Amino acid sequence: MTKRPSIQVAPTFTYHFNPIRTGIISTYPEAICSSCNETRTLFYDFYDAVYSKQSTERPTSICAWCVADGSAAKKYSLRFISADCLSSKRLPASVLEEFECRTPTYLSCHSMRWLCHCNDACVFHGDLSKEEVANPNWEAVADFLSEAPAGMTWEKIAEYYVPSDPSIFKFACRHCNAVFYQLDTYRD
């Protein structure tokens, strides 16, 4: 049976809320995924993939579904993200597996840091929108400002904020619903 790309339902990802909005998964009219050989419409930008020593074959295209179900990571012996970027170094093995092998990364101008909370990786929501900056989570704001240069106020940030210039990323805990904001200038 031929699959109709137009009715393919986009997969969901535990740790990346909407990778189409954040731009790491893109829409194509129709293309073949080198992992599953199916005609697909959503493809992952795997520029950051980390290949293991066992990896022999390199993909030319990876569809969103082969990221979501772990089949591309398995087939090409790769990780889409390294767990080194997680802010917590002690997470359950099942979390690390899903994070590394089934989670789309995000585009960062600097060294990437993925926040963790409640013994789990947080969900990445991408750039705050202008609307979110105008109506923020104030606990996240307090936390954000505690690491910002002295004299910085949220009002000042809100006045000049343009998404991705620079980004203020939003992460949310899957367990306690805590929200965190992170400026895309973090360096180790």
Query: Which candidate, 46, 53, 2, places its Cα nearest to that of 24?
Result: 46
> What does the H/E/C string look like for 115-166?
CEECCEECEEEEECCHHHHHCCCHHHHHHHHHCCCCCCCHHHHHHHCCCCCC
Of the candidates 31, 96, 145, 178, which one interacts with Zn ion according to CB under 5 A? 178
- 66 vs 140, beta carbon nearer Zn ion: 66
Q: Which residues are CB-contacts of 78 (< 8 A; sequence separation ≥ 6)?
A: 46, 49, 50, 51, 52, 55, 72
Determine the interface stretch with Zn ion among 51-59, 60-68, 91-99, 150-158 (rule: CB under 5 A).
Answer: 60-68
Contacts with Zn ion in 28-47 (CB under 5 A)? 33, 35-36
Of the candidates 57, 84, 175, 185, which one interacts with Zn ion according to CB under 5 A? 175
Tokens of 31: 């293309």
Of the candidates 79, 113, 117, 170, which one interacts with Zn ion according to CB under 5 A? 117
Query: Which amino acid is residue 18, in one-letter code?
Result: N
Torsion angle defined by CA atoms of residues 117, 123, 126 and 184, in that order, rounded to the nearest 10 degrees:
30
Asked if 116 is part of the footprint of Zn ion (rule: CB under 5 A), the reply reads: no
What's the min distance (Å) between Cβ of 153 and Zn ion?
A: 26
Asked if 25 is part of the footprint of Zn ion (rule: CB under 5 A), the reply reads: no
What's the min distance (Å) between Cβ of 46 and Zn ion?
A: 12
- CA angle (134 as vertex; 145, 177 as ends), nearest 5: 65
Asked if 173 is part of the footprint of Zn ion (rule: CB under 5 A), the reply reads: yes
- 115 vs 157, beta carbon nearer Zn ion: 115
What's the chain's length in residues? Answer: 188
- 3 vs 21, beta carbon nearer Zn ion: 3
Note the residues at the interface with Zn ion (CB under 5 A).
33, 35-36, 63, 66, 117-118, 173, 175-176, 178
